[in-house]
Chain A
Amino acid sequence: MNDAVNINKNITVTIDGIQTIVPEGTTILEAAKKLGIKIPTLCHHSDLKPGATCRVCSVEVKGQRRLKTSCNTPVADGDEITTNSKAVREARKTIIELILADHPQDCLKCVRNGNCELQKLAYEYQIREVPFERTVKDLPIEDSNPSIVRDMNKCIKCGRCVEVCQEVQQVAAINTSFRSGEFKISTAFNESLADSPCVYCGQCITVCPVGAITEKDDTDRVWEALDNPDIHVVVQTAPAVRVAIGEEFDMQAGSIGTGKMVAALKRLGFDKVFDTNFTADLTILEEGNELLQRITEGGVLPMMTSCSPGWINYIEKFYPELLPHVSSCKSPQQMFGAVAKTYYAEKAGISPDKIFVVSIMPCTAKKYECTRPEMRSSGYQDVDVVLTTRELARMIKQAGLDMGALHDEEYDDPLGTSTGAAVIFGATGGVMEAALRTVYEVVTGQKLENVDLKMVRGLKGIKEAEVDLAGTKVKIAIASSLKNAKEILEKIKAGECDYHFIEIMACPGGCLSGGGQPFGTTNAIREKRLEGLYNIDSSLKLRKSHENPAVNKLYEEFLEKPLGHKSHELLHTHYVGRKY
């Protein structure tokens, strides 16, 4: 094509009087950023295709009658662009005011207060009053599911959530509908999320610029439990939380906040602070053995991982015929709940009905997972409440704890011990790497010298590899995001799949960018959190799940052996196709 973009071609543009050279195809927004000029945006998200709908990023291009949106307009050779003229400022201000006229403006009562892109813009443009007629409607708030709350009164119709749900995840639970003033983001026929294909991955939350989509806040239930002296409240923290929680307290993305987080949890009053990493190691022993059993005994292959509840919801709703491929292992969070209310209860001498298990998760689907009727192996709901990383941060702030000033503390015994293999569960490819570290040694009987299996690392959506286990070739694949999962599932359906083992995570990049993580997740931040997880792994002495002494003790004292009777009772589950 003659007009194809040639990235090797350079273009000279002048922005606000400063000349610069950028590669062809660079947008005005990117070119301006290079010059230290920040053009305000609202609907734009660096990971998503530009929608150019809010029009806040409009700028003047000399010779053009109309303003141009900088998020999607590539610079042309010789362009003279003005980003801060009177006309531009006035247009932006009017646009912000028009948006606000159709917005509740109840910032004080909003979960995004202080962390809202619209609020920030209104502040920057010093909006003191909105001169236009208030047109905001009184739409009902949808909160009839355990994970996600949608308040469409606050929606500014940027379309990011639609892009994520339709294109990145291809779940298509929500979409645009209607037009003009009625234009909205909705499910089909306005059905509840529970009746829709929604899998509660919460990726829509992470891209929402305002408070229109949020997690269901369960902090009050946790405060209540903590305030009750008759209840023994234990908490588990998922691997990916520790490399993201710092972002809520102005630390660099990817900084390792494990010790401070443990200290904060203890200050909040949790009776025991445990680690989901413990049951991540346990998962490897169960799942690794399940894989070997399937391979040697002719079970259904490829086997697929089952840690990600968004993924489980997805396959149950979209591909129920492939459920036999999914490992019967519960997710580490649910294994933890079952172990806490049985093994730990017994050991600590506390009746399980007095134990309250809280999970800190990077995930919104976990909130739904813990309410599943099959997740009551202890005789009680195994995990009582799931809080997202964001909710934990809220509690720490409410308690007035200065995260930066807290001294690192250690997890409690016995469910606080873990290996490097467990912490990398938080990244796409991590479960696979952890499993391979163990399976290799179990199968070959040899020590795996180099545990850094780099071929399964990184944010790439689909990764494939072949591993040689003393002559047995094991073919593996790793997918993150449901669009990529779908690609693999279609291959399996078509019989074009000779993998043995597949790791699937619902969220792009894995749990580190789950729907419960701090706002502002972008690919750049994903990279940082990823780096944080692998840094923790490499800093540890024990890096293979089967070397976890506490897990081994659990088998000795309680479970007996992987895939044993008790394991099946407590650590494994079953799935059902779910119509939507």
Chain B
Amino acid sequence: MNDGLKKEQILGIIEKKNGEKEQILSILMEIQKESGKNYVDKEWARIVADELGIPLTKVYDVLTFYAMFSTEPRGKYVIEVCNSAPCHVVNGSAVVQMFEEELGIKMGETTADGLFTLQYVPCFGACDIGPAVKIGEKVYGNLTKEKVTELLNSYREVSTCQK
């Protein structure tokens, strides 16, 4: 079994959703969140398939079809930068640069400490406060250089406190 999640934890998540097939998206979202690395491992997917009584290929189709899932480990915090046109026209690409510089990684990469992954996502409905990014459930808008630095520091601090 992979180091991130124990079988019992996955069974617990499935149980919470009454083992219903149609809850697969919500089950996989929860697994991904609990993994600490924002992904769903093949072995966990296999447990989901067995418990829900569906073929693994169907779980894989779901995992690869929906953009919010990853089958590869990512950072603890995934910084999702909107690259849809409304954010683009209000200088979205400058924000990308700010994050890349501040984190020392390129778009799509994960920091060496495993804390942050930087990735593009399509519009998440924060166009009125663009350019915007989303980290977990939280949305941050009207980003400037100062705000980006502040934002990343706050996540770094939370992470240090948790240790």
Contacts and interface: CB of A to CB of B under 8 A. Distances in A.
Interface of A: 166, 172-179, 182, 186-189, 197
Q: Which of B45, B61, B71 has the most CB of A within 10 A?
A: B61
A172 B71 contact: no
A188 B65 contact: no
A174 B55 CA distance: 10
B58 A172 contact: yes
Nearest to B54: A172
Interface string B55-83: 11111110011000001000000000000
A178 B65 CA distance: 4
Given A174-B57, A175-B55, A189 B65 contact: no
Contacts of A197: 55-56
Give the dominant DSSP class at B's interface.
helix
A186 B60 contact: yes
B134 interface: no
Contacts of B56: 172, 188-189, 197
Contacts of A188: 42, 45, 55-57, 59-60
17 contacts: A172-B56, A172-B57, A174-B57, A175-B57, A175-B58, A175-B61, A176-B61, A177-B57, A177-B61, A177-B65, A186-B57, A186-B60, A187-B60, A189-B42, A189-B45, A189-B60, A197-B55
Given A175-B58, A179-B64, A179-B65, 4 more contacts: A175-B55, A177-B57, A189-B42, A189-B60
B119 to A, nearest CB: 15
Nearest to A189: B42
Nearest to B41: A189
Nearest to A165: B57
B58 A189 contact: no
B81 to A, nearest CB: 19
B120 to A, nearest CB: 14
Interface string B30-59: 000000000000100100000000011111
A386 B42 CA distance: 35
Interface residues of B, number: 12
A189 B64 CA distance: 9
A188 B59 CA distance: 8
Contacts of B71: 189
Contacts of A172: 55-58
8 cross-chain pairs, A with B, having the tightest CB-CB distances, nearest first: A172-B55, A175-B57, A188-B56, A188-B60, A177-B64, A178-B64, A188-B57, A189-B42
A176 B42 CA distance: 17
B64 A173 contact: no
A176 B56 CA distance: 12
A182 B57 CA distance: 16
Interface of B: 42, 45, 55-61, 64-65, 71
Contacts of B55: 166, 172, 175, 188, 197
B147 to A, nearest CB: 33
Contacts of A174: 57
Q: Which of A172, A189, A197 has the most CB of B within 10 A?
A: A189
Contacts of B61: 175-177
Contacts of B45: 188-189
Contacts of A166: 55, 57
Contacts of B58: 172, 175
Contacts of A178: 64-65
Nearest to A174: B57
B65 A175 contact: no
Nearest to A197: B55
A179 B42 CA distance: 19
B65 A173 contact: no
Nearest to B59: A188
B64 to A, nearest CB: 4
Nearest to A187: B57
Contacts of A187: 57, 60
A178 B60 CA distance: 9
A188 B62 CA distance: 11
Q: Which of B57, B58, B59 has the most CB of A within 10 A?
A: B57
B101 to A, nearest CB: 29
A174 B64 CA distance: 14
A89 B86 CA distance: 38
A177 B55 CA distance: 13
B145 to A, nearest CB: 34
A178 B66 CA distance: 8
A490 to B, nearest CB: 12
Nearest to B56: A188
A287 B74 CA distance: 56
Contacts of B57: 166, 172-175, 177, 186-188
Nearest to B65: A179
A166 B54 CA distance: 11
A380 B64 CA distance: 45
Contacts of A179: 64-65
A172 B60 CA distance: 11
Contacts of A176: 61
Nearest to B60: A188
B90 to A, nearest CB: 26
B68 to A, nearest CB: 13
Nearest to B55: A172
Nearest to B67: A179
A177 B61 CA distance: 4
